Chain A
Amino acid sequence: MQPFTQLEAVVAPLDRANVDTDAIIPKQFLKSIRRTGFGVFLFDEWRYLDQGQPDMDVSGRPLNPEFVLNRPAYKNARILLTQDNFGCGSSREHAPWALLDFGFRVILGKGFADIFYNNCFKNGILPIALPGPVIDGLFQQVNRAPGMTLKVDLPTQTITTPQGEVIPFDVEPFRKDCLIKGLDDIGLTLEKLADIQAYEARRRKQAPWLFVEG
């Protein structure tokens, strides 16, 4: 996983609540057996006017000029500003893969769906939940100054606006540590293999039926 410490980048406003993972990456792209290549299909049904198909060449596709990511100001956006309950619905990790592949490393919102929130951390994306009024304020600022940047600093857990306003945010210490170091969860858990085996031995005595699989 790519580590994350600091990022100063353009923030793109996606002013919709309950953005679901079907919208982030529609199902036809889930047929891929790879982890990459989803960025060009991110928000496919909103971004393009035609119907997207896996493996198609996107260069000639008609863009929806209304969609925020198609506006020139947000071409290099790497921070996504959203409303509440972003990432609800299906557990597809293709959603964070697509966001990452597009270039997003930080997502700001009033709240996130649980599985999506977890999936972000596994892929080097930092989702930050902020109080409603703070998010509303950011939407107002971005709408006044399209293309504005924010500075996100994970070690100090702060976001700094161009005016120098500092917004603190919460993140669980374990997730923060993994993200800063780019740690592989599986490697960490395998270091605890002795604990896992001890649990299995104990459990096999207490509840032997759990270990009969056929």
Chain B
Amino acid sequence: MSAKTLYDKIWDAHVVRADGDVTLLYIDRHLVHEVTSPQAFEGLRIAHRAPHRPAAAFAVPDHNVPTTQRAAGIADPVSRLQVETLDDNCAQFGITEFRMDDPRQGVVHVMAPEQGIVQPGMTVVCGDSHTATHGALGSLAFGIGTSEVEHVLATQCLIQKKSRNMSITVDGTLGPGVGAKDVVLAIIGRIGTAGGTGYVIEFAGSAIMDLSMEGRMTVCNMAIEAGARAGMIAVDSKTIDYVEGRPFAPKGELWDQAAAYWRTLHSDPDAHFDETLHIAAESILPQVTWGTSPEMVTDITGRVPDPDAETDPVRQASMRTALAYMGLKPGTPMREIPVERVFIGSCTNGRIEDLRAAAVVAQGRRVARGVSAMVVPGSGLVKAQAEAEGLDRIFLEAGFEWRDPGCSMCLAMNADQLAPRERCAATSNRNFEGRQGKDGRTHLVSPAMAAAAAVTGHFTDVRELI
């Protein structure tokens, strides 16, 4: 048997049938949310098709849910209808759903690992590009469109073509104040938003394996921002410890059998990667984006770049457009850019560890004048855990808002939005034009950097505050 990568191993274990380049791939877990599923359920109904294996699907409303006064329901009738449609579809087709008022409700990519629904070695899909998150558990997880959501519901399979293997190794030790978000932003800055197109990226190296499971999820979450089909990380004892005891994890004899198999889920030492990249952990500083694409990033000691210095005409034009949109002048030191809003949350950085990192910076300080800052836990359980640790008190005393879980201002589909030209330090994953509200200006940062911006009123090197 020839050497295999982690991706090869999981792929091979899920091939139902291969006809040339086209593979019918079996899907173990299907995560569903309200935005990308209604047309898929409608399609099933029109074709008189039933879900092939409804018990393999798990649903949660997250994009449209309000983050305040949840008991009052959703004010916007269009949003409300979408969430109610999910409730009705799940009830009709026999799909487990964590409803808006369920304490386990949260952003789908926070909720699913937390519940043990996603496990190592699984194929996991969701009508959502950040499904890549779950690769942190040593699963093959990727986002799909609504037609494919319908396809998985009807057949439990997908028609797929295999991607190529890329390995990104980060070796060494991350400095204080530098975390998973900085690692992945630095990687995207290096390879670009199309750098991973056509690949599945395996993140490896001591700095990656030293990350907590939450940190690994942050890294894999943004594999899609590098254009990759999926991001993955090998299984180690941290992975197995994380899954153990979770509500939907295997128990007893099945647990032993599963865990024994999971220990084989790593790339063989001489496995072939089509592309490799090595980064020294020590070279990564706290990152801040300056443009309207996650690759437009620099570190906190840097300056807004000058388009005149760019030789590629397409890139130069993109930079000019981005700087005009962001209202930034070339040469401005990043730390002199003021912020008006701060958003801590999302499937990238809405986990307990993220809130702890932000709280360390917020503790004993005050949100700067003119800044409005909010913390939106990734799930109801993250919120409860944070409250048990007293993090809510720290945030509230510092002047942050403490909200209910959901996607919130990551994409501003609910009431949480930026006003035109408002500048925001956000721990989410996309700084696209209009992402957080029409003409809103988003800078992507880590939770610690977001908290540092909140308490100083401008981007600040968090290393000076801890």
Binding site for B on A (CB under 8 A): 15-18, 20, 22-23, 26-28, 30-35, 45, 51, 54-55, 83-85, 88-93, 96, 111, 113-115, 118-119, 122-123, 172-174, 185-186, 188-190, 192-193, 195-196, 199-200, 203, 207-210, 212-214
Assuming the A-B contacts A84-B194, A88-B227, are A17 and B56 also in contact, with contact meaning beta carbons closer than 8 angstroms in the complex?
no
Q: Which residues of A contact B229 (CB under 8 A)?
A: 114
User: Is there an interface contact between B193 and A85, defined as CB atoms closer than 8 Å?
Assistant: yes
Partner of A17, one of B129, B228, B314: B314
Q: Which residues of A contact B293 (CB under 8 A)?
A: 18, 20
Shortest distance between the CB of B316 and any CB in chain A (Å): 11
User: Is there an interface contact between B38 and A33, defined as CB atoms closer than 8 Å?
Assistant: yes
Nearest 5 CB-CB pairings of A with B? A122-B147, A33-B38, A209-B250, A119-B145, A93-B145
Shortest distance between the CB of A190 and any CB in chain B (Å): 6
Q: Which residues of B contact A192 (CB under 8 A)?
A: 16-17, 24
B247: nearest residue on chain A (CB-CB)? A214
List B117-160 residues whose CB lies under 8 Å from chain A. Answer: 119, 121-122, 127-129, 143-148, 150-151, 154-157, 159
Could you tell me the distance between the alpha carbons of A190 and B50 in the complex, rounded to whole angstroms?
12
Shortest distance between the CB of B106 and any CB in chain A (Å): 18
Q: Which residues of A contact B42 (CB under 8 A)?
A: 33, 35
User: Is there an interface contact between B16 and A214, defined as CB atoms closer than 8 Å?
Assistant: no
> What are 24 A-B pairs at a CB distance below 8 A?
A16-B317, A20-B293, A20-B430, A27-B411, A27-B413, A31-B64, A33-B82, A83-B314, A92-B35, A92-B36, A93-B36, A115-B129, A115-B145, A119-B147, A172-B161, A173-B21, A174-B21, A185-B147, A185-B151, A188-B159, A196-B157, A207-B121, A207-B261, A214-B55
User: Is there an interface contact between B197 and A111, defined as CB atoms closer than 8 Å?
Assistant: yes
User: Is there an interface contact between A118 and B193, defined as CB atoms closer than 8 Å?
Assistant: no
Proximity bits, B427-454, A CB within 8 Å = 1, else 0: 0001011110010000000000000000
Shortest distance between the CB of B196 and any CB in chain A (Å): 9
Q: Which residues of B contact A118 (CB under 8 A)?
A: 144-145, 148
Partner of B159, one of A32, A113, A119, A189: A189
User: Is there an interface contact between B248 and A209, defined as CB atoms closer than 8 Å?
Assistant: no
* Most chain B C-beta atoms within 10 Å of own C-beta, residue among A18, A89, A200: A18
* Most chain B C-beta atoms within 10 Å of own C-beta, residue among A33, A83, A85: A33
A207: nearest residue on chain B (CB-CB)? B261
User: Is there an interface contact between B258 and A209, defined as CB atoms closer than 8 Å?
Assistant: yes
Could you tell me the distance between the alpha carbons of A88 and B227 in the complex, rounded to whole angstroms?
7
B228: nearest residue on chain A (CB-CB)? A114
User: Is there an interface contact between B146 and A93, defined as CB atoms closer than 8 Å?
Assistant: yes
Q: Which residues of A contact B49 (CB under 8 A)?
A: 186
Q: Which residues of A contact B81 (CB under 8 A)?
A: 31, 33
Assuming the A-B contacts A22-B430, A26-B434, A91-B36, are A185 and B250 also in contact, with contact meaning beta carbons closer than 8 angstroms in the complex?
no
Q: Which residues of B contact A193 (CB under 8 A)?
A: 155
A193: nearest residue on chain B (CB-CB)? B155
Q: What size tier do the contact residues of chain B reach?
A: 35 or more
Shortest distance between the CB of A46 and any CB in chain B (Å): 9
Apart from the given pairs A172-B22, A196-B155, A210-B122, 11 other A-B contacts in the complex at a CB distance below 8 Å: A18-B193, A23-B433, A27-B413, A33-B81, A45-B438, A88-B194, A114-B228, A122-B147, A189-B154, A190-B155, A207-B258
B296: nearest residue on chain A (CB-CB)? A18
Assuming the A-B contacts A31-B78, A172-B161, are A189 and B413 also in contact, with contact meaning beta carbons closer than 8 angstroms in the complex?
no
Shortest distance between the CB of B195 and any CB in chain A (Å): 10
Could you tell me the distance between the alpha carbons of A34 and B49 in the complex, rounded to whole angstroms?
18
Q: Which residues of A contact B85 (CB under 8 A)?
A: 33
Q: Which residues of A contact B127 (CB under 8 A)?
A: 91, 93
User: Is there an interface contact between A30 and B413, defined as CB atoms closer than 8 Å?
Assistant: yes
Proximity bits, B43-68, A CB within 8 Å = 1, else 0: 00001010010011000000110000
Partner of B22, one of A174, A200, A208: A174
* Most chain B C-beta atoms within 10 Å of own C-beta, residue among A85, A96, A203: A85
Assuming the A-B contacts A91-B144, A115-B144, A189-B157, are A214 and B78 also in contact, with contact meaning beta carbons closer than 8 angstroms in the complex?
no
Could you tell me the distance between the alpha carbons of A122 and B146 in the complex, rounded to whole angstroms?
9
User: Is there an interface contact between A196 and B194, defined as CB atoms closer than 8 Å?
Assistant: no
Q: Which residues of A contact B198 (CB under 8 A)?
A: 114
Asked if B276 is at the interface (CB within 8 A of a chain A CB), the reply is no
Partner of A45, one of B119, B151, B227, B433: B433
Q: Which residues of B contact A18 (CB under 8 A)?
A: 193-194, 293, 318
B39: nearest residue on chain A (CB-CB)? A35
Shortest distance between the CB of B14 and any CB in chain A (Å): 8
User: Is there an interface contact between A212 and B250, defined as CB atoms closer than 8 Å?
Assistant: yes
User: Is there an interface contact between A23 and B96, defined as CB atoms closer than 8 Å?
Assistant: no
User: Is there an interface contact between B194 and A85, defined as CB atoms closer than 8 Å?
Assistant: yes
Shortest distance between the CB of B239 and any CB in chain A (Å): 15
Asked if B206 is at the interface (CB within 8 A of a chain A CB), the reply is no
Assuming the A-B contacts A115-B145, A207-B261, A209-B257, are A20 and B432 also in contact, with contact meaning beta carbons closer than 8 angstroms in the complex?
yes
User: Is there an interface contact between B430 and A196, defined as CB atoms closer than 8 Å?
Assistant: no
List B376-413 residues whose CB lies under 8 Å from chain A. Answer: 411-413
List B277-302 residues whose CB lies under 8 Å from chain A. Answer: 293
User: Is there an interface contact between B96 and A214, defined as CB atoms closer than 8 Å?
Assistant: yes
Q: Which residues of B contact A26 (CB under 8 A)?
A: 434, 438
